[in-house]
Structure 1
């Protein structure tokens, strides 16, 4: 059915192509039934099936059925993630033997999420080319579709001109994203000695990728973004776009996106509905604040002490922060803050971990937990990373949400020690006057930017999920 649908597509017989691809997807979804307790199998199978969802998007875009193309894009991402969250919430609601299934996707439901949460949603779909000639830049990385859903539910669509953009920059998009990561990342993680503050002249030249990515990803849709900097904008990246720090993208005047908007993220639009339901579930009573378990990050230790003072609680510091000690307290914590070293595994995402005094707390460990936290902050390196799949990033952030956390703050690269500590303490200070985490993180970024203007020092952290 998939191949027949492609044949219709290449013959420009789009109605037949759409109907046939819809039939193919119905078969794919039946094949995923029975893998309820085997998430890795579901994700692996979904990877092989995802080209059908992408083909359906392309067909619907060709016949200008843009809202329906968004529906197909949402169907083609985070399906195992959504099914697992749906199952967890059903169990928590005391439903007997809930059937683990992938909830249906309807355009009206996606619009209602934007309306009910009063947010602007920006959803990207990165449809990569299957093959790219080694010496032929003309064969671009692929197509990028972007939809903007306003707080009133209005849907706007744009197809981004990746081909022309890559010709102009003489590099593929994926190569530019990799270069950006290298330019922003510290080689050894949280480093005690910060680099000198850059002059405005130096800052204007570093890194150029932030302006070029703004031109590609934001400029075509900026007129549809809210003018009020306090209005919430939720980005739903896709594929390699998960690795882009949208907050640090710069327009041609030099303004960062975070200066113009309050930003958070989600693996899919539907996930926003489930994290909102997680937010309303009963929460724990205690605080779990951990600092410098490996005893080589003095600023991380001070960060934990400062935050525990703000919260009027005690932090677990240094060698006391063993895996056993953390697991004994984590289940009943309403706030979890881990200031430590982080590692990620791009092949086996569930091996991504936080380093504790005597062991690692891995994503696999977290999936076994039933958490009552309203927020988790992983003040460590690379905690937003893992294995990038069509089902999202398999790693620590996904594990914490599946364990029951509606809101998590994680990092996109190896962050410096002193600057990160300043940002985190400022974040919790902001939280004392407002429960809005997205606004608190934005204000913390803006404050840290004044002291340490290079984006590597303030732009690594992203808020995923619920903003309150």
Structure 2
């Protein structure tokens, strides 16, 4: 273990040296890889009973999320100070905080590779770690959201919110039996192993592991065997890391807040804009419908681009979807999985007739409920993600069967991930066939509406970068380079600096280069006319797009030719302002099309795609009442509480810069899992960019925030991943 510790320490030290030179985008990817090394070092420390060191290494690297990228102290040279060399005794200070508050600090670290949840308890001057074996089912408590919320969770309190049975046990009569069992099971996992260590504490400070979905656990509602809620026994607080806890503890104690100098925001007017979020789920971009030989149409996922033979590789979304009269399945009988041949195709309820291989008489069986797929060694399969369904597909990767089914209904599969060959046993229910089909049999149907494409050169992984975008349609699946085809909606969409247009001059079309980008609704452009060697201000309506011969284009909907939109430019712009276009689906068909009736088709990476919600964010009426009540408590005049159209981004930023009181937001919040700095809270404005107060904007304020307390009463502010832990 000691040699392993030295090896992993050196690996992380080298990674630490590289950190300052990385961009935000590189850091996001880098962290995910390094966390595996961190977990290995944690296990090595625990194997020699060094819980203090194990806890510190996990906490310091997990904290390299928003706390590091936005709030890390800067050295004299302006570079980030290294976490492992800042000289702060975080564990010692944490122990001091726990003692001063008569609290227990509980730190959770989930080790996915070993199926263990390490539970650290810091009490008085000691740090103890106990590990709990957990399965994926144990960790599937909320699918990253509070999708289940037990009824009667407030039943232990009276109408004024007072605890009426604190000293007595309370049996939640309104709970369903499943709810009670769930809460008790979570209690055993999260609290049971350290019950003796936290006895006598009055407060729990919880540091959950967001990478395991723990930020969504309702800790206060967990039930012990005496039917007592955890919140009935302890005051409960949560922090994202020990570093954050120490930072909060070291802030000046504000026993009083200047009345009338606070900022309170509630229920801004969201009607003027629509929320935009990255299309970071490839499973939404790769959806399609395949037509089989029997003319049946089945939903599928495209798992590999079109090859030289004109074929796509697809994976079905349920293993039983492509079954036909030639198919065999596995059925559980007498403790074994035996083969059976289908004698009819599954009906709407998935029931069909089949005959067992041992000659048993014909029998009707529910394929969906009673059967498993029959794969042979070498068969190509895909692995469905947990909780995947036809309506919410999630294909995690391709694999190959390398053993027969065992008694548990599992297959051993082999798959290649990041250049490494991995093997493991997977339930047959999570495996679906992968097959190659002609491209003509595949109808591409991505589940992305109101798509936006960002301009080339824009790096959304840099939270400071602001780019322009245009409405588009995702029109073709991923190619061998991992890029999707998008089709713009107008010829003048996404015009940026140095783009070329054709401009009229004395009966000719000259080449004009844009000297600056073109904003939406802009009518004039600054253009350098190449042939004349001079710059001009010109109406954009006088210009037409410039396409090269061989460039893919699409006909605008109003100018479709025989129902076909996609074409290729096969001639230069003529004096009439038209291009000759060859329609892709009809090789011999060519049309002359006005230049402004053509739009670009281009290949882009998924990181350049956003989706704009079809409706504005819903209003929050109760948040408005909350803001008014909080404002009154803080001594604000009713007119000084920012509600509705008063809660604009410029006004909020102006007030924040001068506020020395409490800052309270009661609005919508959201997390950008790719770039933590783009996470934020929703305000009033005319567009997403003009209405969202981002974490990066707060961290970049010229006047540092003077408020002693900031309250984010907003959704998702506790969500996150290893590299972006909440708003």
TM-score by length of 2: 0.43
Q: Are residues 202 and 360 of structure 1, via their aligned partners in 2, closer, same or farther at CA, if it must alter by over 3 Å?
A: same
Kindly indicate whether residue 485 of structure 2 is the aligned counterpart of residue 153 of structure 1. Answer: no
Aligned partners of 2:105 and 2:205 also within 8 Å: yes
Tell me the equivalent position of 2:643.
317
CA distance in 1, matches of 2:627, 2:724: 30
Equivalents in 2 of 1:46, 1:365: separation in Å? 23
Q: Give the SS at the match of 1:214.
A: helix
Residues 320, 82 of structure 1: alpha-carbon distance in 2 compared, 3 angstrom cutoff:
closer
Match of 2:184 among 200, 204, 211: 211
Match of 1:181, SS? coil
1:74 matched to which residue of 2? 59
Q: Which of residues 106, 126, 129 in structure 2 aligns to 1:122?
A: 106
- 1:282/1:34 Cα in 2 relative to 1: closer, same or farther (>3 Å)? farther
Is structure 2 residue 663 aligned with structure 1 residue 339?
no
1:346-357 to 2 correspondence within 5 Å? 346-357=673-684
Q: Distance in 2 between matches of 1:216 and 1:258?
A: 17
Q: CA deviation at 1:33?
A: 3.2
Task: Return the structure number with greater strand share.
Answer: 2
1:113 aligns with 2:436: no
Partner of 1:460: none
1:322-364 per-residue CA deviation (whole Å, 9 max, x = no partner) reads: 1122111012222111222333344444443322222222333
- The partner residue of 2:204 within 227, 233, 236 is 233
State the alpha-carbon separation in 2 of the partners of residues 354 and 86 from structure 1: 18
Q: Identify the residue that residue 378 of structure 1 maps to in structure 2.
A: 712
Q: Who wins on radius of gyration, i.e. which is larger?
A: 2
Q: Is the 8 A contact 2:71 2:699 kept in 1?
A: no
Q: 1:149 to 1:351 in 2, by over 3 A?
A: same
Q: Which runs of 5+ in 1 are unaligned?
A: 1-13, 130-139, 187-198, 397-468
Q: Distance in 1 between matches of 2:196 and 2:26?
A: 41
Q: Tell me how far apart the structure 1 counterparts of residues 66 and 673 of structure 2 sit (CA, whole Å).
A: 18
User: 1:104 aligned to 2:84?
Assistant: yes
- Three-state SS of the structure 1 residue aligned to 2:148 is helix
The 2-side partners of 1:81 and 1:361 are apart by: 15
Q: For 1:54, which of 39, 56, 59 is the aligned residue?
A: 39
Q: Distance in 2 between matches of 1:234 and 1:360?
A: 31
Aligned residues: 340
Q: CA deviation at 1:65?
A: 2.8
For 2:149, which of 178, 181, 184 is the aligned residue?
A: 184
Q: Alignment partner of 1:29: what SS?
A: helix
Aligned equivalent of 1:262:
235
* Distance (Å, rounded) in 1 between the aligned partners of 2:71 and 2:229: 36
Deviation at 1:200, TM superposition (A): 4.2
* Partner Cα distance (2:648, 2:51) in 1: 51
Contact 2:142 2:148 in 1 (8 A): no
Name the residue aligned to 1:175: 140
Counterpart of 2:13 (choices 17, 20, 26) is: 26
- Distance (whole Å) between structure 2 residues aligned to residue 154 and residue 100 of structure 1: 31
Return the match for 2:652 from 326, 329, 334: 326
Alpha-carbon offset, residue 97 of structure 1: 4.1
Match of 2:174 among 190, 202, 220: 202
The question of whether the paired residues in 2 share the 8 Å contact of 1:283 and 1:372 is answered with no
Cα 1:280/1:24, change in 2 over 3 Å: same
Is contact 1:111-1:154 (8 Å) kept? no
In the TM superposition, what is the alpha-carbon distance from 1:252 to its structure 2 partner? 2.5
Partner of 1:44: helix, strand, or coil? helix
Cα drift, residue 108 of structure 1:
6.1
Q: TM-score, normalised by structure 1?
A: 0.65
Corresponding residue of 1:293 = 268
Q: Distance in 2 between matches of 1:354 and 1:371?
A: 16
The CA deviation at 1:383 is: 2.4
CA distance in 2, matches of 1:278, 1:79: 20
Distance 1:22 1:83 in 2: 20
Question: Is it true that 1:361 corresponds to 2:693 in the alignment?
Answer: yes
Question: Which residue does 1:303 correspond to in 2?
Answer: 626
Structure 2 distance, partners of 1:248, 1:50, is 30
2:194 matches 1:250? no
Q: 1:259 to 1:23 in 2, by over 3 A?
A: same
- What value does the CA root-mean-square deviation take over the aligned residues? 3.2
Cα distance in 2 between the residues matched to 1:338 and 1:108: 33
Change (3 A) 1:78 1:392: farther
State which of 144, 149, 154 in structure 1 corresponds to 2:117.
144
For residues 40 and 211 of structure 1, do their structure 2 counterparts lie closer, same or farther at Cα, with a shift above 3 Å needed?
Answer: farther
Residues in 1 aligned to 2:724 and 2:122: alpha-carbon distance in whole angstroms: 20
Alpha-carbon distance in structure 2 between the residues aligned to 1:297 and 1:269: 33
| Cα separation, partners in 2 of 1:246 and 1:282, compared to 1, 3 Å | closer
- The CA distance in 2 between the partners of 1:179 and 1:27, in whole Å, is 33
Give yes or no for contact 1:233–1:264 (8 Å, CA) kept in 2: yes
Q: Specify whether residues 288 and 259 from structure 1 end up closer, same or farther in structure 2 by C-alpha distance, changes over 3 A only.
A: same
Mapped contact 1:121–1:148 kept (Cα < 8 A): yes
Distance 1:340 1:111 in 2: 37
